[in-house]
Structure 1
Amino acid sequence: MEDDDLQLSASTLSALQEFMQEKDAREKRFEELKAQAEEEKRERDKLSTTVVTMEDFEADWQVSQFWYDDETSQALAEELVAGAGEDTNVVLVSAPR
């Protein structure tokens, strides 16, 4: 018997084809996600070219600042998290203790 005479059974060939289709679909999905991540990085990089300094912000000297005890800080943090969505960015500029 020569190598040319060897054949897979129909069920084995079908299983192999299904496996290869799933593999191709996973590779395609990976490439799509990679392209999306690269595009999002390019967009973030565009935004990050702007230099922001303290001179860009004007202080309102009529506004008082309050430093909170641990209990109040925890309550405020919980409210912040409860109101935050998936796309919410939270930045703490100053939080002395």
Structure 2
Amino acid sequence: MYGILGQGMKELATWEEPRELDTDNEAVISLYDGIKKILEKQPKPKGKPSSGLPREAKHILRCGRILKVDIERKLVVITVMKTDGELHQLRIEANQD
């Protein structure tokens, strides 16, 4: 068992650093071009369609009535009444001026 481990360690010691691409070799250039063509044919990842509004601007809070809106420099407090009569308060706080 030690002989197998010793041989593996010997192979590890003779490992070479990766060399630069041999651009003079036609086979290497052909292989590189083939890989490049395959990658170009792959479909591009599609991003989510954007409406131009930040994600936070799309949140909707359904309520019966908006009772009060207080606006300060870094804080907006909105008080609403749900259709069942329950009061809710929404706070939007900025962390910068």
TM norm structure 2: 0.29
Higher relative contact order (Cα pairs below 8 Å, separated by 6+ residues): 1
- Structure with the higher strand share, 1 or 2: 2
Structure 1 length-normalised TM: 0.29
